[in-house]
């Protein structure tokens, strides 16, 4: 869950993990730790027609989510880090 200082959503004020409720570390509006930001746009053939869902997970909760998968997530090495 993200809160912004401005209506344009350019400057982060707060990022909270939707799973555990922990506030992630921010410095001058820049996240200082890893986060998973999920977004789902549900269309006509879903039961949530027209809804957009967004959430954030801290790295610990992300790891717990992935452990629950029957088929592991695909993992690749990236040379350009964000």
User: Min. distance of Cβ 53 from Zn ion in angstroms?
Assistant: 17
Residue 18 lies near Zn ion (rule: CB under 5 A): no
Q: Which is nearer to Zn ion, 42 or 56 (CB)?
A: 56
Asked if residues 15 and 31 have their Cβ atoms less than 8 Å apart, the reply is yes
For the window 22-61, what string marks contact with Zn ion as x by the rule CB under 5 A? Answer: ------------------------------------x--x
Tell which one of 1, 5, 20, 66 touches Zn ion (CB under 5 A).
20
CA contacts within 13 A on the Cβ side of 55: 12
SS3 for 14-69 is EEECCCCCCECCEECCEECCCEEEEEEECCCCCCCCCCEEEEEEEHHHHHHHHHCC
Q: Could you list the residues that contact Zn ion (CB under 5 A)?
A: 17, 19-20, 58, 61
């Amino acid at each position: 869950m993200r809160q912004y200082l401005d209506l344009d959503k350019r400057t982060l004020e707060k990022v909270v993990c939707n799973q555990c409720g922990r506030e992630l570390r921010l410095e001058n509006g820049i996240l200082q730790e890893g986060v998973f930001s999920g977004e789902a746009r549900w269309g006509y053939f879903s039961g949530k027609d027209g809804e957009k869902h967004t959430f954030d997970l801290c790295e610990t909760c992300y790891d717990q989510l992935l452990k629950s998968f029957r088929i592991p997530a695909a993992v690749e090495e990236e040379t350009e880090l964000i």
